[in-house]
Amino acid sequence: MESINSKLKSLIEEIEKLPSIGPKTAERIALYLLSLEEQEIKKFLDTLTDARANLHLCPICFNITDKEICEICSDESRDRSSICVVEEVNDLLAIEKTGSYKGVYHVLHGDIDPINHKGPDQIKLKELLDRIKNSHIKEVILATNPDFSGDMTATYIAKLINSIKMDIRITRIAVGLPKEAEIGLADTLTLSMAIKERKEYK
């Protein structure tokens, strides 16, 4: 009995490492997984293995895709003069669900967070500046989270952009999003308003 409890504990601990998963939720997920039929577990594992093997970062915007270039970057109907900068892929997905934005994206894969020793060189910032220098971008929307690290990241990016191209409009989404909120977790209506009512960012 002890070995069974030990294995269950290990499973719960591994699940708890996932983002936003606490001990109780991890326990429920572990018990749910163990209740699945063998065929369902196999399908789950095969899907995970396939995703891990075939998904990669888009070389342009760093969204996740199984194609050479992601669906958004390859969509000719998107407005390439507007680029929305987000911290993570889940932020991009949340904004896409609103249907209120028709431009392209750039995923930083993190933020600037000195407290946790995360600097500008640890996110896709150089790649963003290269895109801006080598394209006809008219607006950069800073859609980083409205918290300390997100605000610091937005300010840093705005200063860098202004130092290389003064004729770009820089905006920041904020309306409707409470302080410390995570964009990827915001409801569709709130996020849609935040995009539509974005303000000039100095």
Would you kindly state where each structural domain of the chain is located, as residue ranges? 2-54, 64-200
pLDDT in tens, 122-157: 999 999 999 998 888 999 999 998 888 998 999 999
Q: How confident is the model at residue 148, as a pLDDT? A: 86
CATH for the stretch 2-54: 1.10.8.420
CA dihedral sign, ordered 127, 130, 134, 135: positive
Q: How confident is the model at residue 136, as a pLDDT? A: 86
Alpha-carbon distance of 33 to 189, in angstroms, equals 33
Q: How confident is the model at residue 195, as a pLDDT? A: 73
Phi-psi region of 190 (alpha: psi -120 to 50; beta: other; left: phi over 0): alpha
Q: Are residues 82 and 139 in contact, defined by beta-carbon separation less than 8 angstroms?
A: yes
Alpha-carbon distance of 103 to 133, in angstroms, equals 17
> Which residue do the tokens 């969204």 mark?
63
Low-confidence ranges of the chain (pLDDT < 50): 1, 3, 180
Q: How confident is the model at residue 20, as a pLDDT? A: 83
CA dihedral sign, ordered 169, 175, 181, 185: negative
Helix axes 148-164, 125-133, angle to 10 degrees: 30
The two tokens of residue 4 are: 């069974």
Class of the domain covering 64-200: alpha beta
Domains 2-54 and 64-200 share a fold: no
Q: How confident is the model at residue 186, as a pLDDT? A: 65
